Structure 1
Amino acid sequence: MARTKPNAEREHRIEMEVVVDAYTEEERALSWYYYLEEHLSFPFQANVRKAMASSPLPAGEQVSVTALAHEDLCRVGIFVWARWGERDVVAPLAQLVSLNSDKSTQVAVADWHYWHDQGYAF
């Protein structure tokens, strides 16, 4: 995904709430995991915003996001469990746009999209 226009408010929140004391890749990954664990309310409906090689979900599909994937998997990126038709799949959160979630979930998902789309890495 192309870099998005810088957002000072979001940058500040991410720096001060998510990765404030995270200095290594592992610390940043865990910081993101725990931030999302605290702010996401499951389940929520989501739309697949783009196809990704790491996921079977095609763009435009709607899924129900049911949980964060295991912490160990989220050390390389943030993944969630999603119900897609009759299947439960693990998908990158960067692939999904929240449709009907509470404000905290919307902000947390948008924070992750921003971080991911800016090209930041753990």
Structure 2
Amino acid sequence: MTERDEEREERIKMRIIVDAYTQDEQAMGWHIYLEETMDFTFEAHCMEEQEISPLEQGETVRVVDKPSSEPSLRQQFVTVEWMGRELSVPLEQLEPIDASSDTEQAISDWHYWLDR
């Protein structure tokens, strides 16, 4: 489990899930935060393989968008360019390589949320 980060906890509480009382509302808060904070496009590499994604560990992809898929508190997706096409993969399996500080923070916040 990740060590508690008070600054990050405050940002999550006051910016991302503020006024969210149900899990669905919290999931939508995360979806909106990620969509508004990440600067597309950026490069990322796959940190771990997942059954629902074709990406292999260490593979580099270009993240181009945040799809409007149904958000959940355990899974947020991004659209990547992969093998000549676009597909959605879980954000949790990606780590930004060449991204803005806002994008890096947003993804780090999401990873922190999942680890806690």
Partner of 1:5: 3
- Equivalent pairs counted in the alignment come to 115
Partner of 1:48: 46
TM-score, length-normalised on structure 2?
Answer: 0.93
In percent, how many aligned pairs have the same letter? Answer: 39
Runs of 5+ consecutive residues of structure 2 not aligned to the other structure: none
Partner of 1:87: 85
Partner Cα distance (2:43, 2:91) in 1: 12
Where has structure 1 moved over 3 Å in runs of 4 or more?
none
TM-score, length-normalised on structure 1?
Answer: 0.88
Partner of 1:106: 104
Partner Cα distance (2:75, 2:99) in 1: 22
Pairing partner for 1:30 from 3, 28, 31: 28
Runs of 5+ consecutive residues of structure 1 not aligned to the other structure: none
**1:83-108 per-position Cα deviation (integer Å, ceiling 9, x unaligned):** 12323221000010011111111110
> Which amino acid in 1 is paired with 2:46?
V
Please give the root-mean-square deviation of Cα atoms over the aligned residues, in Å.
1.2
